[in-house]
Amino acid sequence: MTHPVMQEDTYTTPDGRKIGGVVMEMKNITLRFGGVTAIKDISFDIREGEVRAIIGPNGAGKSSMLNVINGFYHPQEGEVWFRGEKRGPMKPYQIARQGIARTFQNIALFKGMSTLDNIMTGRLIHMNTSIASQAFWKGPAESEEIANRERVEKIIDFLEIQTIRKTPVGSLPYGLQKRVELGRALASDPSLLLLDEPMAGMNVEEKEDMSRFILDVNDEFGTTIALIEHDMGVVMDISDRVVVMDYGAKIGDGTPDEVRKNEKVIAAYLGVAHD
């Protein structure tokens, strides 16, 4: 599926992971809400297998960018290319079915359901027995349910949340809810995982756990990850390349080291007045 030309410029990270060609490319994206321009002419790419971070001050347009990637917002200008194909007008659920999953800045779990059921919803795109078959349960519906349950149990083991399997998610502490949400996204077996501030509001220990899970996901399943994060230490540690946004525009793009030295980035973060 990957674009043939892109295959060539693969590289290997210092820690030995192979990064492939471009999976997703954003070309000159501009997004407006009425008179407000949330994203101004931004282009960047995401490569197969990398951890790509998007950083920037509050209101820089980072979440809007994720919303563009998974089709919740439709940019007025620019193109989104996924796996070598230009994306036409698509609904978010169709994009999810292409293998793009995400978590949300403000947890968006299904409050009325248990941990298990929440993660099972991540499998919905892989479940398609007919209504008639489900109505009488025995047969294909039941075996489909069990097969998917087995996959979900692996994720539950991976995230170490076995004990809260049947707990309603509304009653879980914040950190665990974030973990369940990650579980739900993983359950769909995504090839590209979008994480919107996965560590917001966590203490140091929880952040370390979450970082470990993210790196493990990337490492073990080969999942490409694009994440938004405010904790610079974490971002610089776990990401391969970083996009920096400010006031809807891209002001930097490169490896953590390159970005750290970028003067525009320093200015944005130290609060030098805009002209």
Partner 1 sequence: MPAEFWYGVEVLLNGLMAGVMYSLVALGFVLIFKASGIFNYAQGVMALFAAQTLVGIQTGQIPFAHIINVVLGTDVHHFGWHVPALLGLVLALVVMIVFAILVEKLVLKHLVNQEPIILFMATIGLAYFMEGFGELMWGADVKRIEIGLPQGGNAWVEENTAFLGGEDFYGFYLDTLDIVATLIAVALVTSLVLFSQYTKTGRALRAVADDHQAALSVGISLRTIWVIVWSIAGFVALVAGVMWGAKSGVQFSLSLIALKALPVLMLGGFTSIPGAIIGGLIIGVGEKMFEFLIGAPFLGGATENWFAYMLALIFLIFRPQGLFGEKIIERV
Partner 2 sequence: MIYREVGDFKTTYRADGQTFPIWFDRIRYYVVLLIAFCVVPFIINDYWLNAVLLPFLIYAIAAIGLNILTGYCGQVSLGTGGFMAVGAYSCYKLMTGFPDLNIMFCVLLSGVITALVGMLFGLPSLRIKGFYLAVATLAAQFFLVWLFNKVAWFYNYSASGQITAPERTIFGYRITGAETSAPVTYLFCLVLVVILAIVARNLTRGHLGRSWMAIRDMDIAAEIIGVNPLKAKLTAFGISSFYIGVAGALLFAVYLGAVEVGEVFGIQKSFLVLFMIIIGGLGSIFGSFAGAAFMVLLPVLLKNVLVGTLGWPTDIATHLEFAIVGALIIVFLILEPHGLAQLWRIIKEKLRLWPFPH
State which of positions 70-89 bind partner 1 (CB under 8 A). Answer: 72
- With beta carbons less than 8 A apart as the criterion, state whether 157 and 186 touch: no
Which C-beta is closer to partner 1: that of 103 or that of 211? 103
At a CB cut-off of 8 Å and minimum separation 6, what does 104 contact? Answer: 181, 196
Which C-beta is closer to partner 1: that of 71 or that of 183? 71
Among 6, 60, 63, 68, binds partner 1 (CB under 8 A): 63
Counting other chains too, the contacts that 204-209 makes at CB distance below 8 Å and 24 or more residues apart are 206/175, 206/178, 207/231, 207/234, 209/175, 209/179
Which listed option, partner 2, partner 1, none, makes contact with residue 145 (CB within 5 to 8 Å by class)? partner 2
The two most distant CA atoms of the chain are separated, in Å, by 68
Least distance in angstroms from the C-beta of 248 to partner 2: 22
188 forms part of the interface with partner 1 (CB under 8 A): no
Among 44, 53, 67, 244, binds partner 1 (CB under 8 A): 67
Which listed option, partner 2, partner 1, none, makes contact with residue 34 (CB within 5 to 8 Å by class)? partner 1
Which C-beta is closer to partner 2: that of 33 or that of 93? 93
Which C-beta is closer to partner 2: that of 104 or that of 269? 104
Least distance in angstroms from the C-beta of 103 to partner 1: 10
Q: Angle 174-187/140-159 helices, nearest 10 degrees?
A: 130
Least distance in angstroms from the C-beta of 229 to partner 1: 17
Q: Angle 204-221/140-159 helices, nearest 10 degrees?
A: 130
Which listed option, partner 2, partner 1, none, makes contact with residue 110 (CB within 5 to 8 Å by class)? partner 2
Q: Residue 48 carries which side chain, given as an amino acid letter?
A: E
Helix (H) or strand (E) holding 218: helix 204-221
- With beta carbons less than 8 A apart as the criterion, state whether 45 and 73 touch: no
Which C-beta is closer to partner 1: that of 10 or that of 94? 94
State which of positions 98-127 bind partner 1 (CB under 8 A). Answer: 104-106, 108
Residue 90 tokens, joined: 């698509």
Q: What are the start-end ranges of the H helices in 30-87?
A: 62-69
- With beta carbons less than 8 A apart as the criterion, state whether 103 and 194 touch: yes
Which listed option, partner 1, partner 2, none, makes contact with residue 136 (CB within 5 to 8 Å by class)? partner 2
Cross-strand bridge partners of residue 46: 24
Q: Which residues bind partner 2 (CB under 8 A)?
A: 70, 72, 91-93, 96-97, 101-102, 104, 108-113, 117, 120-125, 127-129, 131, 134-137, 141-142, 144-146, 148-150, 153, 184-185, 188
Contacting residues toward partner 1, per CB under 8 A? 33-34, 63, 67, 72, 104-106, 108
